[in-house]
Amino acid sequence: MILTTFKRIARGGFVNFWRNGFLSFAAVVVITLSLSAFGGLIFASAFGNSLLADVKDKVDINVYFTLSAQESDILALQKEIKALPEVSSVDYVSSAQALTDFQTKWQNNALIMQGLQEVGNNPFPAALNIKAKEPGQYGNIANFLTSKNPQDSNGTPIIDKVNYQENKLIIDRLTAIIPTVEQVGGFIALIFVLVAIIIVWNTIRLIIYTARDEIAVMKLVGASNIYVRGPFVVSGIMYGIVSALITLILMAVFAYWSDAVVLKLAGVDVASNFSLIVNVLSAYFVHNFGEIFVLIIGSGIALGGVSSYVAARKYLKV
């Protein structure tokens, strides 16, 4: 009997969805818009996080060594720095490597290349590029380097310069801005979600309001609450599923379209220098499709189903 009841409720929901064509269309449009706003937030969050990660990644401090510093001393210092809990990575760039990088970069500029030749010896010092796990941790690393003050066997300091002070301003600003950006983003997301829920809830409530006489009749012929409310909940879930599928298609289209637009606006050469920004949405969509699918479909079902369940309750008191 339970199976029969479930089958009848499901059939009633499908029939309602199909026969109330205009109302179903209106509900699907509203839920699709709300879920699209939700999808937009997912994309905005992904893009924002990628952008922040990119900016964080571009911040580092460089330790330049004296030209007389021995590679073994530098590598020993690199090992010590790597062991610090704040440090994400330490890359050693030797003096020869620095020269090669410079030559590669400016190989087409005859004036610069001529100037380099006139200098004669390799003027580039060896360096360590240090990246912290969080921007706020660079101060601690700089303090470590100052207090450590490594020296060679003759007692001469091997560090020529640490560019922390030059980068300090941007590091401090990032440290202050990033949490604020994340908090404001979260707050805006919350507002969007609330607005979406309220709009969907009101739409569903309006649809069920138009069926209030029908609900009363069902009750008066002796139908139980579950039997009256069930088909409305099934219809609500169907609105949610159909809307979610449309939203996923729109998100896929937007992800690939936006990538093409960024490439077109930035130009392929420029875009290739910002590989983290270009393709971020399509890549994010593909890599996280499972989670996005569950999130959007789940939100659609919850929005449609729960709204219908709650909205119908008011008219069951017959």
Q: For residue 70, what is the DSSP state?
A: -
- 3-state DSSP call for residue 132? strand
Closest distance of CB 8 from other proteins, Å: 6
Closest distance of CB 20 from other proteins, Å: 6
96-106 burial code (b ≥16 CB/10 A, e <16):
eebeeebeeee
Q: Which CB, 2 or 83, lies closer to other proteins?
A: 2
Q: For residue 136, what is the DSSP state?
A: G
Distance CA 42, CA 291 (A): 11
Q: Are the CB atoms for 294 and 302 separated by under 8 Å?
A: no
Closest distance of CB 209 from other proteins, Å: 15
Q: Which CB, 4 or 72, lies closer to other proteins?
A: 4
Q: Which CB, 92 or 227, lies closer to other proteins?
A: 227
For the record, the structure tokens of 162 come out as 């640490």
Q: Compute the 3-state secondary structure of the chain and give helix, strand, coil in percent, each to the nearest 5.
A: 75, 10, 15
Q: Which CB, 1 or 119, lies closer to other proteins?
A: 1
For the record, the structure tokens of 189 come out as 């997301």
Closest distance of CB 24 from other proteins, Å: 11
Q: Which CB, 16 or 95, lies closer to other proteins?
A: 16
Q: Which CB, 223 or 302, lies closer to other proteins?
A: 223
Q: Which CB, 19 or 268, lies closer to other proteins?
A: 19
Residue 267 backbone class (left: φ over 0; alpha: ψ -120 to 50; beta: rest): left
Distance CA 257, CA 79 (A): 46
The CB density around residue 21, as the number of other CB atoms within 10 Å, is 9
Element (H, E) at 109: none
Q: Are the CB atoms for 87 and 131 separated by under 8 Å?
A: yes
Q: Which CB, 15 or 176, lies closer to other proteins?
A: 15
Q: Are the CB atoms for 255 and 43 separated by under 8 Å?
A: yes
Name 92's bridge partners: 128
- Residue ranges that bind other proteins, judged by CB under 8 A: 1, 4, 8, 15-16, 19-20, 213-214, 216-225, 227, 318
Distance CA 40, CA 80 (A): 44
Q: Which CB, 35 or 207, lies closer to other proteins?
A: 207
Place of tokens 């005859």: 110
